[in-house]
Amino acid sequence: MTYCDLCGARSDRSFIVEIEGASMRVCDSCSKLSKNAREHRIKKPKPVGRTKETVYVTVPNFGSLVRDIRVKMGMSSKEFASELDEKESLIKNLEAKEIEPSLKLSDKFYSRFGVKLVEVYEQSAPTAKRRDRKTLTFGDVVEVKER
Ligand SMILES: [Zn+2]
């Protein structure tokens, strides 16, 4: 919202006109008095908003979770692997916590058994502090979630 330098009217749009060598900020109708009027766009400040950030946290006891599911189903690691269309070595390594489950594998477990191996959190983080957020531990994230 600006005031016209010529007629004093309040105006949402303002135009810069050169009148007798002086540049003036005028309203829509006064701008028509000058041939070389150009619209002066008022820049809106960028919102200092918070951005959503997705954080992936591997469930600490994923090894025993995988084993528990397999044992409940009464399957060997080989049978369990073929059930999941994965390699037996992957199942063994998961149970031994030799490797971390991928998000894709976690999704597979979730759709079949309702168990997540990787928790996915959406949290809002101030843009400036984004880098700090990458080093969250599992406990930190739970705290954030419960707040
Ligand atoms: Zn005016």
Amino acid present at 36: N
What is the number of helices (H) and of strands (E) in the chain?
Answer: 6, 7
Within-domain flag for 117: yes
Mean pLDDT of 122-147: 57
Alpha carbon of 5 to ligand 1 centroid (Å): 7
pLDDT of residue 97: 94
Residue 23 shares a structural domain with residue 80: no
| pLDDT level of residue 43 (50, 70, 90 thresholds) | low
Rounded to the nearest whole angstrom, what is the distance from the C-alpha of residue 21 to the centroid of ligand 1?
18
Give me the domain span that covers residue 120: 51-146
Give the pLDDT confidence score for residue 32 in this predicted structure.
84
pLDDT band at 22 (very low <50, low <70, confident <90, very high): confident
Q: Report the domain count for the chain.
A: 2
d(CA 136, CA 40): 46
Cβ contacts of residue 44 below 8 Å, gap of 6+? none
pLDDT at 52 (0 to 100):
77
Residues 6 or more apart from 52 whose CB is under 8 A from it?
122, 123, 124, 125
Residue 134 has pLDDT above 80, yes or no: no
Task: Tell me if 59 sits within 8 A of 118, measured CB to CB.
Answer: yes
Task: Examine the domain organization and report whether 117 and 87 are in the same domain.
Answer: yes
Question: What would the mean pLDDT of 17-44 be, rounded to a whole number?
Answer: 78
Question: In this model, does residue 25 exceed pLDDT 70?
Answer: yes
Asked whether residue 46 is assigned to any structural domain, the reply reads no
Measured CA to CA, the distance from residue 16 to residue 25 in angstroms comes to 5
Residues 27, 80 share a domain? no
Tell me, in angstroms, the distance from the centre of ligand 1 to residue 26's CA: 5
Rounded distance from Cα 10 to ligand 1 centre (Å): 8
Q: According to the model, what pLDDT value does residue 141 have?
A: 56
